[in-house]
Amino acid sequence: MKKDTVYSQPITQVNRFRFDATVADVFENMINRSVPGYPLILDLIGVLTEKYAMADTNCYDLGCSLGAATLRIRQHLPQSCHLFGIDNSAAMVERCRANMARDHSQASVAIIEQSLQQTKIENASIVVINFTLQFIPDAERQAVLQRIATGINPGGILILAEKISFNNIEKQDLMTDLHHEFKKYQGYSDLEIAQKRAALENVLVPNSEQEHLQRLRQAGFAESQLISRCLNFAAFLAIK
């Protein structure tokens, strides 16, 4: 796994964060050192796929990056399912396809370079959107959830994981501070943390737990709940 040093040197003008080849090359290391609880969420995706995947249905990993969640889904699917990994970054898609080619699970998989707002969701039993809705313009998020909910069969699920915000200012400050401490513990310098934060400003825009639950309800899920939270990173399970 190549170490993430993308923001290790001083940058005069920090550009908006992009999922380009430089990021894709180190992304596995970056996400594991930046998102507290990420390995647990991958395990939960495996557990929930085992429980909820239905034969002869489609499954989707929206914003699949290098395919970490895609692989977890695929390795727990009935053979008759078909899995789609969707990402709009060419650099991610290229590397994700190579990762899928090294996996020999029986369910078929296609990695598609596409904006997830264009993805047709149909006959679905499992949809995962892992730390990706936060990069979609806020005004488009409800419509994305709505289209996902419409495409999921009764009894199927959506697993949504996101960085979250807090309405209470003290809590927000504490969680931001603890997240930075987590990143320092993972070996990132203050400079790396500050420059990445500047790059993500207005690019990664989090919602609160309450906003997510309300949107999931409004999208038409019968039941939605928080299934994991580690500092300011949370995962939700929504059942159609």
Ligand X SMILES: C[S@@+](CC[C@H](N)C(=O)[O-])C[C@H]1O[C@@H](n2cnc3c(N)ncnc32)[C@H](O)[C@@H]1O
Residues in contact with ligand X by CB under 6 A are 19, 31, 63-65, 68-69, 86-89, 92, 115-117, 130-132, 135-136
Look up residue 149 and give its two tokens.
């909910």
Closest separation in Å from C-beta 74 to ligand X? 13
The answer for residues whose C-beta is within 8 angstroms of residue 38's C-beta and 6 or more apart is 31, 32, 233
- Please say which residue, 60 or 131, places its beta carbon nearer to ligand X: 131
Q: Are strands 124-130 and 233-239 parallel, antiparallel or unpaired?
A: unpaired
Are 19 and 207 a contacting pair, CB within 8 Å? no
- Please say which residue, 108 or 115, places its beta carbon nearer to ligand X: 115
- Please say which residue, 68 or 148, places its beta carbon nearer to ligand X: 68
- Please say which residue, 203 or 222, places its beta carbon nearer to ligand X: 203
Q: Is 71 exposed, middle or buried (0-12, 13-18, 19+ CB in 10 A)?
A: buried
Look up residue 12 and give its two tokens.
């005069």
Closest separation in Å from C-beta 110 to ligand X? 14
Closest separation in Å from C-beta 66 to ligand X? 6
* Residue at shortest CB range from ligand X: 63
Closest separation in Å from C-beta 77 to ligand X? 17
Closest separation in Å from C-beta 176 to ligand X? 18
CA dihedral 203, 209, 210, 213 (to 10 degrees): 100
- Please say which residue, 55 or 226, places its beta carbon nearer to ligand X: 226
- Please say which residue, 88 or 105, places its beta carbon nearer to ligand X: 88
Among 27, 167, 58, smallest CA distance to 121 is for 58
Closest separation in Å from C-beta 163 to ligand X? 9
Give me the long-range contacts of 116-119 (CB less than 8 A, separation at least 24): 116/62, 116/63, 116/86, 116/88, 116/144, 117/143, 117/144, 119/60, 119/62, 119/84, 119/86
